[in-house]
Homo-oligomer: A and B are copies of this chain.
Amino acid sequence: MPYDDDIWGEFVVAALDQFDRKILALLQENARLTGSELAGKVGLSAAACLRRVQRLRETGVIERDIAVVDPRVFGKRMTVIVLLTLNSDRPDRYNLLRAELEKTPEIVQCDHVTGAHDIVLRVQVADMEEYAAFVDRVLVRPYIKRYESLAVLGHIK
């Protein structure tokens, strides 16, 4: 085999060489690069590049290709990062909360964390009024002990 196989969670995936890594790095920045554009940047023929991209997709290394849409288009001009602290005496409700957070459309990113807080949300809303409604609807509940809102002033990255 030209590549060494590598264990990867439960999956066995062909290891990636320098060409694959270069291609991935480029496609993560701009997924619309054509075969010949890739060819010029990685030093392989267009066909070889495209075959590699094809395999990266099939094996799930490239999970999907998405269009990044300016959130302001949907009138969601305001981003808030929310730090949640839960009541540790009600751990049974965690799964329930988790399921609800997953369904809430204003929440665009949500992670379970360890440290001074328990959950970090990224919330996308139109304005303060909508954010206030979101807080009332989603965050004001017994299992949530405390929440801290950090309004995003600007995206650095």
Residues of A at the B interface (CB closer than 8 Å) are: 8-9, 16, 24, 27-32, 60-70, 72-73, 79, 81, 83, 98, 101-102, 107-117, 119-120, 148-157
Please name all residues of chain B whose beta carbon is closer than 8 Å to the beta carbon of A72 when the two chains form the complex.
8-9
Q: Are B150 and A115 touching (Cβ within 8 A)?
A: yes
Distance in angstroms between the alpha carbons of A141 and B51 in the assembled complex: 46
Q: Are A117 and B150 touching (Cβ within 8 A)?
A: yes
- Known A30-B64, A31-B31; contact A154-B112, beta-carbon cutoff 8 A: yes
Q: Are B16 and A73 touching (Cβ within 8 A)?
A: yes
Residue A156 contacts which of B98, B149, B152 (CB distance < 8 angstroms)?
B98
Question: What's the nearest-Cβ distance from chain B to residue A16, in Å?
Answer: 7
